[in-house]
Structure 1
Amino acid sequence: MSYGPPRPVARLLLTPEDKEAPARAQRLLRLGLAEQPDPALDAFADRLAELAAAPYAMVNFIGESRQFFAGLHVRRPVSLERVDDTKPVLGRHMERDHGFCPHVVVRHKALVLEDVSDYPRFAGNPIVDEYGIRSYLGAPLIDSTGMALGTVCVVDVEPRAWGRAGLDTIKASAAELTMRLERRAADGLPL
């Protein structure tokens, strides 16, 4: 039996380490995708929400310390941050350890969570309690360099059986938007 100082307890890393974050932040700046809302990306999120029949849809770019929703569709008016001590309202910024998009970016793979409460790793995420999110469907925006710039995603406050059609839709939407973003950067064209 040891009576020395207690050893540190290893904690479960819920948000994966993101070694690409510094390079991604620089790439987003070069592409002109800094933290500014973009009406064309809002329109893209609106269309994605309609395709998925989801109340929320986002085009999300992940920086070094937080996430930014450059495109955002919500079913009710949005405040940019927490209004008071009540339940926060989904806005344009979110901490990096909130939500599921950072997992998609690090993994470079789509993620389907039909009911987040079925997954202990995700059920304890702050957005489950703070925003009432119960289901998620997201895919990475992987550019021609192989870097995941961010995600396109849809979420719901109810469990959802997204199915193969939902997965195919989100992946195709991510590929389409990535191509449009790169074309815009290369040619100066609008989205």
Structure 2
Amino acid sequence: MSAPIPYSQYDPTSHLLLTPEDGEAPARVVRLRELGLGDTPVPEFDDFARELARVTGAPYAMVNFIDENRQYFAGLYTPGEDQAGVELGPAPRQEQPGRVMARDHGYCPHVIVRRKALVLEDVCDYPRFAGNPVVDEIGIRSYLGAPLIDRTGMALGTVCVVDQEPRPWGRQGLETIKSMAAELVAQINRRDPGI
């Protein structure tokens, strides 16, 4: 039996584990630099996020790389892109997410440490995840994400979609996000100067 994963942040009022400790982060930063990723937008990844949003029907999609302190959306799709003239309904509670997010916001840090896809059809059904800042700040209610594990075995980041409404992602959603992650990993591996 393996030892439990230590966690770096606790909610003292509820004793829930919030942000997982990520021992691979320093090595990940080195690997991302080798690949030229993690600190600037990548137009192909924006295109990928757009396609991911289309395939899943989600309003937000991201290609996310994570270091010790932050998350960087090298690929980003938000509501309104490619939708000129379409009525979008009520505005989100706050501005739409930018390219940078604190490491303790969202669910991708959990995916990268777990190295497995994560499906949250309604984050409020999971006390561990319901208290995440993105719930109150952006109104996120559902999440679907998968890790990007490159040819070296390093978990570089994630691909994910989120919605401000609960979503029944189901097995189909899980298979889709995993398949799309594998597709993007193949694209990332082609960037590798070591190949």
TM-score interval, smaller chain? 0.7 to 0.9
Does the alignment pair 1:66 with 2:73? no
| Counterpart position of 2:109 | 102
**1:9-158 alignment runs, 5 A limit:** 12-76=16-80, 87-158=94-165
- TM-score calculated relative to the size of structure 2: 0.84
| 1:117 alignment partner AA | C
Cα distance between partner residues in 2 of 1:73 and 1:9: 35
| Counterpart position of 1:162 | 169
Query: What is the CA distance between 1:147 and its match in structure 2?
Result: 1.1
| Counterpart position of 1:80 | none
Per-residue CA deviations over 1:93-129 (Å, capped at 9, x if unaligned) read 0000000000000000000000000000000000000
| 2:30 alignment partner AA | Q
The count of residues paired between Structure 1 and Structure 2 equals: 173
Q: Which runs of 5+ in 2 are unaligned?
A: 1-11, 82-92
* 1:67 aligned counterpart, secondary structure: strand
**Which structure dedicates a bigger proportion of its chain to strand?**
2
Query: What is the CA distance between 1:89 and its match in structure 2?
Result: 2.7
> Runs (4+) of structure 1 moved beyond 3 Å?
8-13
Query: What is the CA distance between 1:130 and its match in structure 2?
Result: 0.2
Query: What is the CA distance between 1:64 and its match in structure 2?
Result: 1.1
Query: What is the CA distance between 1:187 and its match in structure 2?
Result: 8.3
Q: CA RMSD in A?
A: 1.9
Per-residue CA deviations over 1:24-62 (Å, capped at 9, x if unaligned) read 011000111031001110000000000000000000000
Which structure: larger Rg?
A: 1
Contact 1:88/1:130 (<8 A) preserved: no
- Percent of aligned pairs with the same residue? 66
